[in-house]
Amino acid sequence: MAARSSEVAPAQEPGSDLVTQDGRTSIADVVVAKIAGIAAREVAGVHQLGGGASRALGGLRERLPGVGSQSPSTGVRVEVGQVQAAVDINLVVEYGVPIVGLADEVRASVIERVEDLTGLEVTEVNISVDDVYLDDGGDTDDESPPAR
């Protein structure tokens, strides 16, 4: 994500762990994006993160030796303010999972994780379901290659 970092002003949010007597602390965007991405992937029913382009690139990357799989921040876009953050997530759901309930779960997971680890208040989590994954072979999700 962008190298832009959010400045967390001291003593603005009474309950925040980021409050400091003097000095400044900040958390980079990519940190929030990675945390949100990991939190979203942990929810059962989420097959993959990322839109069409990033998934195509991710599929390409998985075939290249030594490059590794997707970055944890793939499919996640964040806007980080001083004490608040907004998260946008693109994901692919598995077929058969109720999407509305899944979205609520993802939203809750992301909010909980980001607020817990970074001390930022998550104001909104916008979820976009880009695709549905059909598990044809009946194998486990992680071992079967993405069908699309």
Partner 1 sequence: MTEPVDQGGSAQPTPVAAPAVVTRRPAEARVAAARAAANAAGPAGASRRTVPASSVPPGPAGGVREGASQPTAAAVAPSSVDPGLASDRAQVKEHNRRLIGRVARRGRAAASSATQATAAVASSAAQTAQQAGGQVTGAARDLARHAPTGADLAAGARDPAGPAVQAARAAGGATSAVASRVAGATSQRAAQVRDRVTPDVDLQALAEEVRGVPGVVRLAADAAGTAAAALPGRVRGVSLDDDELEVHVVADYGTHLPALLADVLGVVRRYSAGRTPVAVVADVIVPDQAPDAASQARDEEGGPVSPGPSTPAA
Site for partner 1, rule CB under 8 A: 3, 5, 16-18, 20, 22-28, 30-31, 34-35, 38-39, 41-42, 69, 72, 113, 116-119, 142
User: What is the H or E stretch that residue 35 is in?
Assistant: helix 29-41
Q: Give least dist CB 30 to partner 1, A.
A: 6
Cα separation, 71 vs 59, in Å, equals 12
> What is the rounded CA–CA span in Å between residue 31 and residue 5?
9
The distance of closest approach from Cβ of residue 28 to partner 1 in the complex, given in angstroms and rounded to an integer, is 5
Q: What is the identity of the amino acid at 94?
A: E
Tokens describing residue 123 = 């104001």
Nearer to partner 1 among residue 3 and residue 64 (C-beta): 3
Q: Which is nearer to partner 1, 22 or 136 (CB)?
A: 22
Q: What is the DSSP letter of 146?
A: P
Nearer to partner 1, 25 or 86 (CB): 25
Q: Which of 29, 131 has the CB closer to partner 1?
A: 29
- For residue 101, the SS3 value is helix
**What type of residue is 86?**
A
Closest separation in Å from C-beta 24 to partner 1: 5
Q: How far is the CB of 119 from partner 1 (least distance, A)?
A: 4
Distance of CA 33 to the CA centre of its chain: 5
